[in-house]
Amino acid sequence: MPHQRPQSRTQAQPSAPQAHVQARPESPQQVFLADVARDVKALNSAVLVLGQKMQFLVRNEKILGRNLLVLNKKIEDFQKVKGTDEAGSLGSKELEGLRQEFEANSAELGRLSRSVSELRDALEQVKINYAKSEGK
């Protein structure tokens, strides 16, 4: 433990005198500019959040699209194999499961596509509002 020198009372820092400073009253223009600055920050945050959500939705949409392609390929393969009795009885259960999975993925892809579209519209609206607020 390093040796610390005790501070003498004469070395103590004097407290600064408390000057009472009155704030100037803000003009209406300053208030307006402060409000606009807050609005711009809020809009910027909203745009960033919407952009992130759109990136996630687009990524998920791509993943689901690839899954649909794989499932389509599997369904086609099972339909080709279905010609034989053994493969037909085995494949029909698997085919039905794949068909249900395909339908679920198709519905999810449609939902994500609508969400992306809604987010794009919302982002465009935010951009328009942002441009209007900058123009003021």
* Other residues' Cβ atoms within 10 Å of the Cβ of residue 62: 11
CATH classification for the domain delimited by 28-135, as one of 3.40.50.2300, 3.40.640.10, 3.90.1170.50, 1.10.287.1490: 1.10.287.1490
**Average pLDDT of the residues in 127-135:** 79
Domain layout of the chain by residue ranges: 28-135
pLDDT tens for residues 90-108? Answer: 567 777 888 888 888 888 8
Could you tell me which residues come within 8 angstroms of residue 112 by beta carbon, excluding any fewer than 6 positions away? Answer: 57, 60, 61, 64
Between CA 4 and CA 90 the distance in angstroms is: 84
pLDDT tens for residues 5-44? Answer: 555 554 545 554 555 555 566 888 899 999 999 988 988 8
The reported pLDDT for the residue numbered 119 is 87
pLDDT tens for residues 62-84? Answer: 898 899 889 888 888 887 876 65
With 0-12 / 13-18 / 19 or more C-beta atoms within 10 angstroms meaning exposed / middle / buried, residue 91 is: buried
H helices of the chain, in order, are 28-81, 85-135
Position 2 pLDDT exceeds 60: no
